[in-house]
Amino acid sequence: MADGIQAPGGTLGKDAFLQLMVTQMRYQDPLQPMDNSQFLAQLAQFTALEQMTNVAQTESQVLQAVQTLQRTALHQWMGAQVTVSDGQGGTVSGAVEGIRFGADGTPMLQVNGKTYAIDAVQSIDG
């Protein structure tokens, strides 16, 4: 969720929520002020929004860190002897000649001129 007044797609961010709440408090009728329970409910909604935003940011950072670690670890596989499943019940052994990433970011190993998914690896022999 965006911090600005209006995020792409027309959703309101946390700053807009706070501005609306302050505006509501500023223009309330002094003879009939806003009910405390309404104020607390809005504050609880804001707190929940803030926590969801923090969780989403943390999740994104963790995912980026895992992807970086994965890419770094995969480079250590270059030249290593591996045994992979060929997808037809057999296995193929050979040195890792290259590492590629599919359109979805899935790592693929090139062994003996063919490409295999990372989950096809059965063993690594340094």
Give domain limits for the chain.
Answer: 14-66, 76-124
Sheet containing strand 121-124, strands side by side:
114-117, 107-111, 91-101, 81-85, 121-124
48 or 70: which carries more pLDDT confidence? 48
19 or 110: which carries more pLDDT confidence? 110
User: What's the rounded Cα separation, in Å, for the pair 11 and 23?
Assistant: 19
pLDDT at 1 > cutoff 50: no
For 68-122, the pLDDT digits (tens) are 887 777 888 889 999 999 989 999 999 999 988 888 878 889 999 999 988 899 9
Percent of the chain at pLDDT above 70? 88
Structure confidence at residue 126 (pLDDT)? 58
Structure confidence at residue 24 (pLDDT)? 81
The amino acid occupying position 126 is G
Tokens of 117: 């998914």
Q: What's the CATH code, domain 76-124?
A: 2.30.30.30
Rounded to 5 degrees, what angle do the CA atoms 91, 94, 99 make?
100
> According to DSSP H, which parts of 29-122 are helical?
36-75
Q: What is the pTM of this model?
A: 0.47
Structure confidence at residue 10 (pLDDT)? 60
Can you spell out the DSSP letters for 34-59?
PPHHHHHHHHHHHHHHHHHHHHHHHH
pLDDT at 53 > cutoff 50: yes
95 or 37: which carries more pLDDT confidence? 95
